[in-house]
Structure 1
Amino acid sequence: MNPIPGLASRSLQLSDLLVLDVTRISPLGWLAVGCLIAYLAGAVSLWVRGRRWSVLGTISFVLGCVAWFAATGLAVNDYASDLITALVFQVITLLVAAPPLLLMGSPGRLLLRATPHRGLGCLVLRAAIAAQRSRAARILLHPIVAILVAIVALPGLFFTDAISWIMAAPGGHQVLLALLLAFGVIGGAPLWALDPLPRKPSFGVRLAGAFLELQIHALFGLVLLRSASGMLSWYAAEPEGWGISRALDQSLSGSLVWTYGQLPLIVVLIITLSKWRRSDMRGARHRQLAEDEALDAYNAYLAQAADPVASGTTRKDPA
């Protein structure tokens, strides 16, 4: 695929990858637009009926859809077959950047609150509740799945050169992006979701999962930074017309992993530690109140036992 006309004489710039051409938006890009419209329609319907819905949650979901569209609906989607940097940008966005924003928008709660409880809406609600309570959901939302997703989606695909096989297959690129988004939502749900989940991991498990994912991303980014060009057979040739070498292209992709790819996980660590501390402080206050109440009750019992009038006994006159 040839780059945008006019780029042959200058080096790659981020703005070149963010060009919008409506006629070349992928199906995944249109799906992002559809999800955004459906979410806003649900939120507006609640506001019109005078029911509360989080503005911050709405903003978060909108930003998630924007990130999703940026990875699949802009020029970067076309140029991922030429540039490793473009492909890695898509992978990181759909795997670790867009899912947290989508999950913090609580789309599940919005579905339950905004969907009509009659007709087709009733069937949709029953299907959603059945899926939420299913055994498959409990398995997919296990914290270990997030770690497996990080291993398969980054080192697994790139170090085995499976990416080249996928890119060579008809429609393989778009199928890969769809799976990455699904895996990102599944893997991110235990860390980010505000909707009720069939399995709620402890703070310790969340910290361990986020820390392990950080190490996987760090290793993956380091290999991209330090390895020679030609690691992937699909990207063996030099990217003609972009003004950069393949080695620089690969190094830029590694830098993306180390910066853009690590940031969401660092935020997870900070938020989880903060929530864990607040939870421990609330627990300590509740335990202290319970102990104080028990001590007060015991002191009242001792006072009552020591008071002969309160205990119902009278002292007789010795005469």
Structure 2
Amino acid sequence: MGDDALAPWSLVDLFSRWELSTPVLVGTTLATGLYLFGVWRLMRRGDRWPVNRTICWLVGVIAFFIATSSEIGVYDDTLLSVHMVQHMILSMLVPVFLALGAPVTLALRTLPRRPRGWLMALIHSRLAKVLTFAPLVFALYVLSPWALYYSGWYRASLEHPLVHEMMHVHLVVVGSLFFWPLLGLDPIPGRLTYPLRVLMTVLTLPFHAFLGVTLMNQTTLLGGDWYPELHDSMAWLPDPSADQHLAGGILWGSGDAIGLIFFIVLFSQWVRASIREAAQVDRRLDLQEARARAAGEDSDRFRGATTE
């Protein structure tokens, strides 16, 4: 934390230095291996699994690894602006891509009978219903950044490695609780109608913007004297106030950009679902019409036979 030997930050050198953590390595390896094993089991028995879902899951896992282990992770306690990039990756990009991977559906299709029953019981449990209750997850998602940056939690994350790692987990978990029901690919409780999903997505945008503008305009530094002391020991670091202004801009701009992309994904899902529903209605009406026509023809034949 705050290593004096750190060279100046450069986006060009993003993958030149890594800070590997055993829990992160084990977690990402397990997440990748178990998912690919599930896909392999489906393919082995002749079932198909959408390639785009596998790609999305791998992108989510890799994004988590990069955000916590590349130079973003190395400098996340040295530059607030770099931390904010990490924050947006962990709280928005990673949860969205993991949800698009539909791992719960994959598990239900590949687990043995007893573990599958345990998973189904968990999905239908009261705890799952509470954790996917739309007003609750919305409040958690929009208020947790305020709790992080305007309490002693953020300073503690700078000083204590365990708290720092738990903050990463918190961002992914809260983001997943928010985005998973909205995407609606997995059979979990809390699934909303498409108009409500779009509404919840739109409502998050002002909160990111307001927090970003607040950080840009305030004179009080996040983390107290943490960043000024680092600035005194490393001359290449930017002025802490300027870096905080940049961090606020990153939060504002990236939050709106990712929210807009997610809105487009939701809207496209809504359109495809409407098309499928309309096609089902058409097939049902065609079937009813065919049955009515057949019944009419049978009735005509019966009357003709009776007349003869």
Normalised by the shorter chain, which TM-score bucket? 0.7 to 0.9
Q: Provide the rounded CA distance (Å) in 2 between the counterparts of 1:153 and 1:116.
A: 37
The counterpart of 2:135, out of the listed 116, 140, 144, is 144
Unaligned stretches of 5+ residues in structure 1: 302-308, 314-319
1:131 aligned partner: 122
Aligned-partner Cα distance in 1 for 2:225–2:263: 35
* Cα distance per residue 1:61-99 (max 9 Å; x no partner): 000000111122223324322221232222221111101
Matched, 1:178 2:166: no
Listed as ranges, the matches of 1:177-256 within 5 Å are 177-228=168-219, 230-233=221-224, 235-237=226-228, 239-240=230-231, 241=234, 242-256=236-250
1:264 to 251, 254, 258: 258
1:275 has 2:266 as partner: no
What TM-score, normalized by structure 1, do the two folds share? 0.80
Question: Using the alignment, how far apart are the partners of 1:86 and 1:53 within structure 2?
Answer: 36
Aligned to 2:21: 25
Query: Which of 67, 71, 78 is equivalent to 1:71?
Result: 67
Distance 1:102 1:278 in 2: 21
Could you tell me how far 1:17 is from its partner in structure 2?
5.0
Counterparts in 2 of 1:296-311, with a 5 A limit? none
Paired residue for 1:305?
none
Which residue pairs with 1:47 in the alignment?
43
Within 5 Å, give how 1:107-122 maps onto structure 2.
Answer: 107-117=103-113, 122=114
**Same amino acid, percent of matched pairs:** 25
TM-aligned CA deviation for residue 14 of structure 1: 2.2
* Partner deviation per Cα, 1:126-151 (whole Å, 9 max, x = no partner): 32111111111112112223321222
State how many pairs are aligned: 305
Which stretch of the first structure deviates more once superposed, 47-56 or 281-290?
281-290
- TM-score normalised over the length of structure 2: 0.82
Deviation for aligned residue 1:36 = 1.0
Name which of structure 1's ranges 246-255 and 161-170 shifts more when overlaid on structure 2: 161-170
With over 3 angstroms needed to count, the CA separation of the structure-2 counterparts of 1:223 and 1:16, relative to structure 1, is: farther
Larger relative helix fraction: 2
Q: Name the structure 1 match of 2:11.
A: 14
**What RMSD in Å do the two structures reach over aligned CA positions?**
3.5
Do 2:60 and 2:97's aligned partners in 1 also have CA atoms closer than 8 Å?
yes
Q: Which moved more, 1:162-171 or 1:280-289?
A: 280-289
Judge conservation of contact 1:108–1:195 (CA < 8 Å) in 2: yes
2:64, 2:271 → 1: CA distance?
33
Distance 2:287 2:89 in 1: 52
